[in-house]
Amino acid sequence: MKKALYRLVRILAWVLLSLTVWMATPADYFATVYPFVSRDPESITRYEGNGDHKTAFVFFGGAQDSATALSAPLRDQWLQRDDVVVVEFNRILFDGDQTSYDTYRKLHEWGYEKVILDGASIGGRVATGTIDCDRKYGLSDYKKNLKFAVMLQDAPVDIEDLYQRDSAKSWSTVWWAGQMTNLLLTRLFWDINFNPPPRDQLGAGVDDNQLAAQYEASRTYPLSGWLGQIRYIDSRSDSTNKIAPKTYYDVPLVLMQSDGDTVVKPTADRWGGLFASMTVIPVHSGHIDFVENPGEWRTAFGKGFEALSKVPGW
């Protein structure tokens, strides 16, 4: 009886969702809300670490995430080595290229010489975009280029690497959500579609406050921002075809891949061809589940830093 009732509730919720989308999406489109919304990242926050303050570890989170909440179980580990910069994406109107550019300018303004760009999931392409900005503008704007290394976790090169590629393309193509849709549908949509694992299936060392903060960020993530993130990773398909082998010829890569990732396919073969060198670190975990499985990820980052320290200049 309970299963039948639950199924009926889900069906009614989907009917309500469909009707609301049908009414709200055109209203959003014709209201042209986007020209009045900033495309800059929500925040770029610097934390001072134990290093010489000439090197920054820059973290870009994944889709439907708060980078601050996602990185919470790991920041103390990162700060033991370097300053840490956490980049919060624009939750209303995501623009990966603008985020890369703003981050690049901040790094120069703060006077860093070396930068470890860390990208979780789609944050990986925002990270490489930051290198592209520095190569394009560094010498002309600041008379120097920064020295980069890259660390990635479960990062797609483009939308072809997603297990649910067709579904993602359909959502982002058909649905151009705006502020009205965000207001009316965000909670309902994620109540139906955000299904984290039960508490008893999480790894050791989980902090309940950090878990609550991460889940609240995901459950309230505006649909316009999430769909923009999907469109961004879809748009990378064209740019990927134009990237020459070893484009990042002087940049080492540390790639961490979860064996339980159900979102992004293994991408070592694709990423490896773009960088000077690559170290692959398997992680016994799920898709960038830093908060749900902090122990595994702390171990993985420890191995990542060790691998990076063996690269000359790092």
Burial of residue 125, with CB atoms counted within 10 A of its CB: 0-12 exposed, 13-18 middle, 19 or more buried:
buried
- Amino acid 31: pLDDT: 44
Q: Check: CB of residue 48 under 8 Å from CB of residue 83.
A: yes
Which of 1-5, 54-58, 132-136, 243-247 shows the lowest mean pLDDT across its residues? 1-5
**Bridge-based pairing state of the strands 43-47 and 83-88:** antiparallel
Confidence band, pLDDT 50/70/90 cuts, at residue 180: confident
**What is the domain partition of the chain in residue ranges?**
16-314
- Amino acid 19: pLDDT: 52
Mean predicted confidence (pLDDT) in 248-265: 95
d(CA 73, CA 25): 37
99-154 pLDDT tens trace: 999 999 999 999 999 999 999 999 999 999 999 999 888 887 787 889 999 999 99
| Mean confidence (pLDDT) of the chain | 88
Q: Kindly report the pTM of this predicted structure.
A: 0.88
Fold of 16-314: Rossmann fold (3.40.50)
